[in-house]
A and B are shown apart, each in its own frame.
Chain A
Amino acid sequence: MNESSLREVEKRTYMSYHQDGLIDIFVGVYVLLFGLGILFSTVTSFSTWFVIPAIFPAVMVPIWMSVKKRITMPRIGYVKIGSRGVNKLMAIFIGLMVAGLGAFMVLTFASRSQAWALTLRNLIIPNGMIIMGIGAVIISALFAYTMGLKRLYAYGLLTLVLFFTGHYIIIPFAYLLVIIAFVIIINGSVLLMRFIRKYPLAPGDKANVEEPL
C-alpha cells in the first residue's frame, strides 16, 4: 500500500462522487452566466454584469449541496472528502486566481506611468483569448489528473480549440463562452440521467437510514 495506490483510491472516490454530472451542470451554468453577462453588457451597456457571476457561488453552492443530498446521497451514499488532493489543488487554484487578478490590476495601474507595463499590457490584451485558452487547458488538466475525471481534459481541450479559433477568425468571446457552457451542461445532464438510471431508488428509500453495526 504505497502513496500511488492511495491516490488511485482517492481518484476512484472523486470519480464516484462526481459521476452524477451535477458539478458539470453547475459549472456550465456559471460559464453561461459569464457569457450572457458579457453579451448583455455589449447590447445594453450594462457595465455591472459581473456582479451576477460574482455572487453566483454564494447562491449556488448551497443549492448544489442540497441537490447532492437529494439525488446523490440516497443512491450512492455520502462522503466528506477532507483536505487531501483536490482540496489542496482548489486552494492553490483560488490563490493563483487572486494573485493573477492582483497582478493584472497592478499591471493596469502601472501601465499608466511605466513604459514596460504598457508594453506588457499591449502584449497580453490582444492575445487574451490564447492566454485564457492555454490557462483553461492547464487548469482542466490539473483537476482532471487529480480527480481522475477524464471529461475535464475534453472540456479544457474544447476551450483551447474554441479560443484559438475565436482569436484567429474573430468570434466574440461571449459567444464562445455560451457554446462551452452548453456543451458542459448537456454532458452533465446526460451523466445525471445515466446516474439516475444506474442507481434507481426503491420506493421509500432514504439517505443512509441507520445501518446495522
Chain B
Amino acid sequence: MSKNPSNLRNIDRLIHEPARLMIMTQLYVVESADFLFLQNQLQMTPGNLSSHLSKLEEAGYVEIVKEFIERKPHTALKLTKTGRDAFKEYQQNLKRIFANLPE
C-alpha cells in the first residue's frame, strides 16, 4: 500500500460503506445509543443494522455494553477508542483526497 496520504487505497473500506458510515457518524456524535435509537435515526431494518454492527464490533470499532436500566436489560452501543481514532483518520484521509483533487 502506498504511503501517499492522498491515495484512495488508504481509505478504511469498513467505514466507507454508506450504512456503516452512517452508524459510525451517529455514534461519533454521542456517548452511546441503543439499538432502537440507531434504527430510528438511520431508518435501517433490524437485520441490516445488526449485520453492520457485528462487522464494526469484529473490527473493534464498536463496543456493545450490556447494562440494566430500572432493572430491565439494556444494550448500549458506543464507539471504542480504536473506532473513534479510525473515524478521525477516515475524515482526515477524505479531506486530503479532496484537497489534492484538481479544480
Which residues of A line the B interface, CB within 8 A? 1-2, 5-6, 9-10, 12-13, 16, 69, 73, 76-85, 206-213
Question: Which secondary structure dominates chain B's binding surface?
Answer: helix
Given known contacts A1-B91, A207-B69, is B34 in contact with A79 (CB within 8 Å)?
yes
Check A1 against B94 for contact (C-beta < 8 Å): yes
Q: Is the CB of B46 within 8 A of A211?
A: yes
Q: Which of A13, A69, A207 contacts B26 (CB 8 A)?
A: A13
What residues on A are CB-neighbors of B39 within 8 Å? 77
Find chain A residues with CB under 8 A from B34 CB: 77-79, 208, 211
Using a CB–CB cutoff of 8 Å, the interface residues on chain B facing chain A are 21, 25-26, 28-41, 46, 50, 53-54, 57, 64, 69-70, 72-76, 90-91, 94-95
Which residues on A sit within 8 Å (CB–CB) of B46?
211-212
User: A99 to nearest B CB, angstroms?
Assistant: 28
Within the assembled complex, what's the spacing in Å between the Cα atoms of A77 and B75? Answer: 10
CB distance from A146 to the nearest CB of B (A): 12
Given contacts A1-B25, A1-B90, A213-B54, contact A80 B69 (CB under 8 A): no
- What chain B residues lie within 8 Å of A82 (beta carbons)? 29-32
Which residue of chain B has its CB nearest to the CB of A10? Answer: B29
How far is A207 from B35 in the complex, measured between Cα atoms in Å? Answer: 10
Report yes or no: B37 in contact with A9, Cβ–Cβ below 8 A.
no
Tell me whether A77 and B30 are in contact in the complex, defined as CB-CB below 8 angstroms, given that A206-B72, A211-B50 are known contacts: no
Asked whether A213 and B25 contact (CB < 8 A) given A78-B69, A81-B31, A82-B30, the answer is no
Q: Please determine whether A208 and B26 come into contact, CB atoms closer than 8 angstroms.
A: no
Cβ-defined contact, A78 with B29, below 8 A: no
Q: How far is the CB of B81 from chain A (nearest CB, A)?
A: 14
Given contacts A1-B90, A211-B75, contact A80 B29 (CB under 8 A): no
Residues on the B chain within 8 Å of A212, using CB: 46, 50
CA distance A83 to B28 in the complex (A): 11
Chain B residues with Cβ under 8 A from A79's Cβ? 30, 32-34, 37
Interface pair B29/A6, CB less than 8 Å apart: yes
Residues from chain B with a CB closer than 8 A to the CB of A210 are 73, 75
Contact among A9, A80, A207, A211 for B31, CB-based, below 8 A: A80
CB B17 to nearest CB in A, in angstroms, measures 13
Q: Distance in Å from the Cβ of A113 to the closest Cβ of chain B?
A: 50
